[in-house]
Amino acid sequence: MLSAILSIIEGLPEAALALDREQKICGFNNRAAHIFDLLRVGDPVSLTIRQPEFLDAIGAVRSGEPSVTVLFERNWPVTRQLEVTLVQIAHDELAHDVHGRIDPGQPDIFVTIRDTAEQETLARMRMNFIANASHELRTPLASLLGFVETLQGAARDDEAAREKFLAIMAGQARRMTRLIDDLLSLSRLEMSEHVPLDVQLEINQLVEPIAEMMRPIADGDGARIKVERLKGGAYVRGEKDELVQVFQNLIQNAVRYGRQGGQVQVRVQRRKRKDHAGHWISISVKDDGPGIAAKHLPHLTERFYRVSKVSSREKGGTGLGLAIVKHVINRHRGELVIKSRVGKGSTFTVNLPESSPQNVTG
């Protein structure tokens, strides 16, 4: 019975532990150890979890309560608001000794622990996201409604004003469309984050067509895009459309926010991983634009974060592009490295785990 309970505990997505009839710890999972780092099998649980509410709950379960839930705060090493549920374990024949008595070493109480502070943080993030998305949509929508009212009233017969306002309205509608597309992209990524990445891709064959597609835009600003391939091929496992979206976003940003008449350099390389677990396929996108101040760098992948709201909106940004990039890279077990200096340009580097060149899909 003990091994079965321990298997269940280890497989749970939340912190859990089991106690025997003497209130000693039978087992616990890594999530419980992360909250209570002094847990030891065989120790009385009161040595580690001393809160009176918790100890009273053990007594209540031992007295016949089927389950008890208590709330208490743990302040070390970080402050946590914990919701702890204790349940009496039903014993079968395997839990008894040869004399019919319950083996004192068998699990008697099952304990699950949920950090409600983490849930509250997620709830706040969700509320902030909804508020930001609503604000981003409300601004162009208010503009559209204002121009519609003007065209229905004072400017009804003013052809010059009508042409001007319709052009602005079309731009605002395109802005809302881009924002909705990015919101849908984030939603699809979140829904598919557990889908296995078992298709092998050749990165050179992804990056070069994207760079070619962006060249007309770069030409309009007098900028150049230069691609440096990795000879011999650069193979990773991943989802093609998601990675195309990553590199399209990074190259487009480099063209959009780089120096007019400057150069965007895209380089595919192979690098050793610091954890000695093989190699990265490293794709860097470098511009020679105005650069980004250091204080902004840690926040660039946050949803709706902008270094300059005015510049971003003027150039068609939604504030979600780098959040999408980060999400895709995390799903591909990679990393995003951002380096920038004011006046010296910026480099965005995507590191993806290298895969052996077999069954390649371009």
Query: Measured between alpha carbons, how far is residue 182 from residues 142, 146, 289 in Å?
Result: 20, 25, 25
pLDDT of residue 286: 96
Q: What is the pTM of this model?
A: 0.59
Q: Which two tokens stand for residue 216?
A: 């007309």
326 or 100, greater pLDDT: 326
Dist CA 50 CA 62 (whole Å): 18
The sign of the CA dihedral 168, 174, 180, 183 is negative
pLDDT above 90 covers a percentage of the chain that reads: 38
Per DSSP bridges, beta strands 263-272 and 67-74 are unpaired
Instruction: Tell whether the model's pLDDT for residue 159 goes beyond 70.
Output: yes
Stretch 58-64: mean pLDDT:
90
Q: What is the mean pLDDT of the chain?
A: 84
Dist CA 258 CA 89 (whole Å): 64
pLDDT of residue 28: 92
pLDDT of residue 339: 95
- Per the DSSP assignment, residues forming a β-bridge with 226 are 265
The sign of the CA dihedral 8, 9, 10, 12 is positive
Candidates 333, 165, 172; CA nearest to 243 is 333
**Measured in whole angstroms, how far is the alpha carbon of residue 239 from the centre of its chain?**
17
Identify whether the C-beta of residue 105 lies closer than 8 Å to the C-beta of residue 2: yes
Stretch 256-285: mean pLDDT:
91
pLDDT of residue 185: 81
Instruction: Tell whether the model's pLDDT for residue 293 goes beyond 50.
Output: yes
Confidence of residue 316 (pLDDT cuts 50, 70, 90): low
Can you spell out the DSSP letters for 92-147? Answer: -GGGB-TTSPBPTTS--EEEEEEEHHHHHHHHHHHHHHHHHHHHHHHHHHHHHHHH
Q: What superfamily in CATH does domain 196-361 come from?
A: Histidine kinase-like ATPase, C-terminal domain (3.30.565.10)
- Does 2-120 carry CATH code 3.30.450.20? yes
Identify whether the C-beta of residue 315 lies closer than 8 Å to the C-beta of residue 257: yes
